[in-house]
Chains A and B, each alone.
Chain A
Amino acid sequence: MNKGVAITGMGIISAIGNTIEENFISLVNNKMAITTIENISTVHSNAIKVGEIKKSNDQLAGELQLSPDNNFSRTAMLGAIAAKQAIRNAGISSINEYKTGLISATSVGGMDMTEKKHNEFFENEAALKYIDSYDSGDVAHKIANELGLEGMVTTVSTACSSAANAIMLGARMIKSGKLDRVIVGGTDALTKFTINGFKTLMILSDGYNMPFDNDRKGLNLGEAAAYLVLESDEVVRKENKKVLARVSGYGNANDAFHQTASSENGDGAFLAMQKAFQVADLKPEQIDYINVHGTATPNNDLSEGRAIVRIFGDDKAPDFSSTKPFTGHTLAAAAAIEAVYSVLAIQNNVVFPNLNFKTPMEEFNLVPQTTLKHKNIEHVLSNSFGFGGNCSTLIFSKSE
């Protein structure tokens, strides 16, 4: 296998916890956080459940010690909180000491503030400061400023696979020597925009999402942010850094089937996994756990399941689970929080449970792991798929 790129720090804020430790405790104690929405007033509040971070914007701004006239979106605040944690976790005190970059991901960027202020833009001068967030890069710039980072900053937006692609680009930039260190991940806040968008597509569940269940009814939206610090082996050696795990494989492919639906045979997902195995120089039988995309929409789980059967063979899929029953589907942040969960699985040698599962799907013999399982975990495969047929796979491996 290929050695992969070192992960030396992580940070996360999600509905199931404000720190890495809190997230882990929730995952091993079946503590899901799918609830009625509180921070956004929507006519759908009785018809949907969400994975919401129970902190107001004022509380988040307070934690970041932002000035009262700041123009941070909730997306930017969540991102800054998670990225700061990651930097601390990696023991970085002088951010620009090495050639450092930030590659962030978001789906709707500052939409949370835009939709709140939209009707004020022409009446209220004070609302105008939020027009800066029409540029999705505003989120990454704000995070970079909070970190004091001067270097390459960019943002990936490929819908629900965005953060996987940010991690992929970061790993490639370390490998190619273009950067010595890069902070990668994604952030997305809940918005009326996405709630209503998914609602019109009729893929929101009115209850709790049930990935890979025959009777699944759709997804719960969520909000979260997570960032990882990737560092070159030279920096790791020089600074005597502890390596949490490694990004050993990655692949992106396009389903080229439909703007919002996945193909029945999961061509894009199949190709993404295949590429990731090539990059990692690993074989499917070496994977100990798959953190599936598993949104619990009828279409995703069928397409992803078929692709898994094609890659791993009938009845040969390793233990797999979707962690979305815990957190909801956090869109552009999903692959970042699931990257953190994949690293936690490797560090703690556990498979997290796929909650809410009862009945296997009739199309194939794939049954997720429904209880916490302890076993040695060397390699975790994590899938993320987005609108536009965007399919991404990451493989995380234990560091020697």
Chain B
Amino acid sequence: MSKTYINGLGCISAQKTFDTVFLEEAELNENDNVLTLKVPVYKDFIAPMAIRRMAKGVKNGIVAAALAMKEANITNVDAIITGTGLGCIEDSDKFLKAILDNKEEFLTPTAFIQSTHNTVGAQIALGLGCKGYNFTYVNGAVSFESSLLDAKMQIDDNEASSILIGGIDEMNDYTASLFKRAGFIKKDNEVPYQVLNATTKGAVYGEGATFFVLESEKNESTYAEVLDVEIWNKMDVDQLEAKMNSFLKSNGLEIADIDAVVFGYNGDVEYDCYYDNLATTAFINVPQVYYKHLSGEYYTASAFGLWLGAKIIKTQQIPAIVEVNAVEKSAYKNILLYNQYKGIDHSFTLISK
């Protein structure tokens, strides 16, 4: 059974997460309820004709994938696996709006063609000429973890030795207005939008694309080893600690072995109790880290969390801006990530030095 190593990262987010060391230029924005993306220079990665045609998420996915592959120093992979919660929402909305506004007449296929959830994975495969395995998962907040799980199983079983995985989600004005109306996004007049100790419902949203090159061989570009990932569709708060403990146990670990825990706190007063449950008891003496105040919430924001965890292990430091508590450790070997969204789609991910 082979081991799975993270050998390259590429991250497009609301922060400067490319051409940078580790969040040294991060900016905390508590005034906006939808965070805007730090857009890369697309023309360095994509042909000008294609830039005009492609939706934002597709472009961000292609750039993040290219960055991850460059770091891992590889030019092709055995498989491409992506996760996305909302998929190509901009093109889906565009096509749907055209259908309804024009009463099903005068439609062109471009937006429809690019609306399928697997567009990003397909476009990356086209660009690389990669004829290998190509999957896309679309299950809310475990869309990315499903990709990670699938990739790890393939490397475990020696079915592949290098796999590109990523989480991509888009946000646009229309979807944001809809999500505000539905209460998914916090109300406009509730500034400052604090993620920790929040008192209001909903979350500050964002968008992004985060890619990883996973390989069976360790090398000089290795960030961390992926030990395990587990997904649960739902659980009650009072089941959480037992499920977390049995996950650690199945990997031969216990809480004392965990050097940092990365929580998916998003400032939703209704559901952050899951994180509080672990933060105030099991992990009270363990360094705790959060990130959605920097990335915003989106269905694949947990990929930003894994990016953060991998960076902590490689640099052996936790930037002050992501600290939940003041606990420190002399070394960061094992990191546990826990995420959920609205009480469903729970995931535990374990990475190690």
Contact = CB atoms under 8 A, between A and B. Distances in A.
Interface of A: 42-44, 102, 106-107, 109, 111, 114-115, 118-119, 121-122, 128, 131-132, 134-138, 140-141, 144, 149-159, 165, 169, 172-173, 176, 178, 192-193, 196-197, 199-201, 252-260, 267-268, 271, 386-390
8 contacts: A121-B178, A135-B86, A141-B140, A151-B232, A154-B139, A159-B116, A196-B95, A196-B107
Contact of B184 (A131, A138, A252, A260): A131
B318 to A, nearest CB: 30
A157 B181 contact: no
A135 B92 CA distance: 13
Interface string B148-172: 0010010011000000000000000
Interface residues of B, number: 66
Closest 6 CB pairs of A and B: A388-B122, A137-B139, A153-B233, A197-B112, A200-B109, A157-B117
Given A43-B103, A150-B233, A137 B118 contact: no
A257 B134 CA distance: 13
B109 A256 contact: no
Interface in B203-250: 230-235
A139 to B, nearest CB: 9
B104 to A, nearest CB: 5
B182 A253 contact: no
A311 to B, nearest CB: 15
B266 to A, nearest CB: 15
B136 A254 contact: no
A390 B107 CA distance: 25
A111 B234 CA distance: 24
Contact of B126 (A137, A149, A389): A389
B119 interface: yes
Contacts of A151: 232-233
Interface in B273-296: none
A328 B20 CA distance: 52
Contacts of B182: 128, 131-132
B134 A156 contact: no
A43 B153 CA distance: 47
Contacts of A252: 133-135
A205 B231 CA distance: 42
Contacts of A149: 233
B118 A158 contact: yes
Given A109-B138, A154-B137, A259 B113 contact: yes
Q: Which of B95, B108, B109, B175 has the most CB of A within 10 A?
A: B109
B99 interface: yes
A24 B105 CA distance: 39
A119 B100 contact: yes
A137 B113 contact: no
Contact of B233 (A114, A122, A141, A197): A141
Contacts of B18: none
Contacts of A156: 135-138
B132 interface: yes
Contact of B137 (A118, A134, A144, A157): A157
A152 B122 contact: no
A259 B109 contact: no
Contact of A390 (B118, B181, B299, B345): B118
B33 interface: no
A43 B105 contact: yes
A43 B104 contact: yes
B192 interface: no
Chain A contact residues: helix, strand, loop or mixed: mixed
A165 B137 CA distance: 10
Nearest to B114: A259
A200 B113 CA distance: 10
B118 A196 contact: no
Interface of B: 80, 85-87, 89, 92, 95-97, 99-100, 103-105, 107-109, 112-119, 121-123, 125-126, 128-140, 142-143, 146, 150, 153, 156-157, 175, 177-179, 181-182, 184, 230-235, 299, 344-345
A387 B182 CA distance: 32
- Interface core residue of A102, A140, A199, A389 (most chain B CB under 10 Å): A389
Nearest to B140: A137
Contacts of A150: 232-235
A252 B154 CA distance: 13
Contacts of B181: 121-122, 128, 131
Contact of B231 (A43, A154, A193, A268): A154
B118 A192 contact: no
Contacts of A197: 95, 109, 112, 115
Nearest to A172: B153
A157 B109 contact: no
A144 B233 contact: yes
A135 B140 contact: yes
A135 to B, nearest CB: 5
B131 A158 contact: no
B121 to A, nearest CB: 7
A254 B125 CA distance: 7
B233 A389 contact: no
A158 B95 contact: no
B119 A259 contact: yes
B118 A42 contact: no
Contact of B104 (A137, A157, A196): A196
B121 A153 contact: no
Given A135-B85, A254-B132, 11 more contacts: A42-B104, A118-B100, A122-B177, A135-B140, A152-B230, A156-B138, A157-B117, A169-B150, A193-B96, A259-B119, A389-B122
Nearest to B80: A254
B134 A389 contact: yes
Contacts of A152: 230-233
Contacts of A169: 135, 150
A197 B108 CA distance: 8
Given A121-B181, A150-B232, A134 B131 contact: no
Given A122-B181, A176-B156, A388-B121, A154 B96 contact: no
A153 B231 contact: yes
Given A152-B231, A156-B135, A196-B104, A256 B129 contact: yes
Choose among A135, A140, A192, A201 the residue with the greatest number of B CB atoms under 10 Å from its CB. Answer: A135
A134 B131 CA distance: 30
B242 to A, nearest CB: 13
B122 A115 contact: no
Contact of B118 (A43, A178, A387): A387
Contacts of A122: 177, 181
A260 B115 CA distance: 11
